[in-house]
Amino acid sequence: MAPTRPNKKSKKGDKGAASADDSKVSPLLYVKAAETQLQAGNPSDALELAKKALSQSQTGSDTALAALNLLGQINIEIGEFETARSFFLKAVAIDEDGSRSDETGGGPEKFLCLAQLSEEGGLDSVKWFEKGAAALKAQIQKFDDVKKLSDEQEILVDELRQKHAMTLCAVSEIYMTDLSWEADAEARCEALVTEATMVAPDFAETWQTLASVRISQERFDDAKAALIRSLELWKDLPTGIPPVGLVRLLMEVGMEQEAIEVLERLVGEDDHSVEVWYLGGWGLYVMGEKQKQQDSSEGGEWKSTWISSKTWLTQCLNLFKKQDYEDDRLGEHANELLAAVTKDLGDAPSEDEDDGDDGDEVWEDEDGSDEEMGG
């Protein structure tokens, strides 16, 4: 018996039914599904779902806004920055001041993303950061008007205050760099960091930015005071990892001992960072140099400090080579420092050699038993 010929009409009917069912799905469900896929590390699947959500949303609706914001985030994830920018700009056209709910793509996030995606930088980035800051301020104000906040609301407000402070600090940093030539750059920096410390006084990064501004003004005592405040706040955070930028600021104002303490904490979190080992070696070198000027005796304190410096620098260069690290200037400086301490120490062993072990083998041990070297 011959096979039955397929019924083309019924196939078309099935396809039409599928399309009809597809159109019945709420665009918001597609948005939620896309968010889930993005969080699961599947940006390509998230992209298709978000596109479908947008195509089925009414122009200017909450779901269209949510889909546009999500498409912007997905395109950042896959490295399509110009496409991401175009989606965020379309979202801004719907929610110009960020007053719509965060849940539907409103709020400050799109402005902050546009500030970072700006090709022009400078004043264009400032414009978007300021719009983001205004949206954050409005959100915080709504909670300030509530007499009694729940625990969840308290946490949310703290997060908003920190984000607001970070945004103000970001604008301040632009005025310290790209817009430093502006006549009012210093005054703007001053106003921005002052506001940031008032908005989030318990946020360590605001004090770090204040220190950076004070260093640029050559107000080093004030910079040290701000860094001490920042350090105190970092120490109170059980899971907070101080940024490497904090270390560089500490070294810039001559607080090498504090810098080494921070670096030891960073090494405890990640002992494969070339920059951390480099900064540790450099900081210990500077400490030893100061000690040597005060006491040049054979068994002076400077010698043990430089032995520690040698260990940090050796590990830095081991990792530099192993990771094929790209910062040649860092490698050159580390080699210069190592040559300087080795010349003065002569045959003095490094700390790991004192223990009778080969230095490279100790530091490249992957079983988590690496030593932590301090000054």
pLDDT at 241: 67
Burial 161-194, CB ≥16 within 10 A → b, else e: bbbbbbbbbbbbbbbbebbeeeeebeebbbebbe
Angstrom distance (rounded) from CA 84 to CA 75: 5
What is the mean pLDDT of the segment spanning 177-183?
93
pLDDT value of residue 10: 43
Regarding predicted confidence, which is higher, 326 or 299? 326
For the stretch 163-176, pLDDT in tens is 999 999 999 999 99
Phi-psi region of 60 (alpha: psi -120 to 50; beta: other; left: phi over 0): left
At 117, phi and psi to the nearest 5? -90, -5
| Strand residue runs (E) in the chain | none
Q: If one looks up domain 202-270 in CATH, what number appears? A: 1.25.40
HSE (side-chain half, CA atoms, 13 Å) at 195? 20
pLDDT at 15: 43
Considering only CA atoms, which of 80, 86, 71, 81 is closest in space to residue 38? Answer: 71
Q: Once rounded to an integer, what is the mean pLDDT over residues 327-334?
A: 96
State the Cα–Cα distance between residues 47 and 304, nearest whole angstrom: 57
Of the chain, the percentage scoring pLDDT greater than 70 comes to 83
pLDDT of residue 17 exceeding 50: no
State residue 86 phi and psi, 5-degree precision.
-65, -35
CA distance 288 to 312: 13
Among residues of the chain, what percentage have pLDDT more than 90? 70
- pLDDT band per the 50, 70, 90 thresholds, residue 348: low
The reported pLDDT for the residue numbered 346 is 75
**Does residue 320 contact residue 331 with C-beta atoms inside 8 Å?**
yes
- DSSP letter string over 71-117? HHHHHHHTT-HHHHHHHHHHHHHHSTTS-S-GGGT-SSHHHHHHHHH
Mean pLDDT of the chain, nearest integer: 86
pLDDT band at 92 (very low <50, low <70, confident <90, very high): very high
What are phi and psi for residue 21, nearest 5 degrees?
-65, -40
- Range with the poorest average pLDDT among 79-88, 122-131, 314-323, 361-370: 361-370
The structural domains of the chain, with segments of one domain joined by +, span 202-270, 271-375
CA 26 remoteness from chain centre: 35
Separation CA 78–CA 47 (nearest Å): 10
Average pLDDT over residues 29-52: 94
Gap between the Cα atoms of 13 and 10, Å rounded = 5
Exposure letters 264-292 (e unless 16+ CB within 10 A, then b):
ebbbeeebebbbbbbbbbbbbbbbbbebb
Cα–Cα distance list, 96 to 29, 139, 165, 172, 362 (Å) = 25, 15, 22, 24, 57
For residues 38-65, give the mean pLDDT: 94
**d(Cα 49, Cα 29) in Å, to the nearest integer?**
9
Can you give the pLDDT at residue 293? 86
The pLDDT value given to residue 351: 54
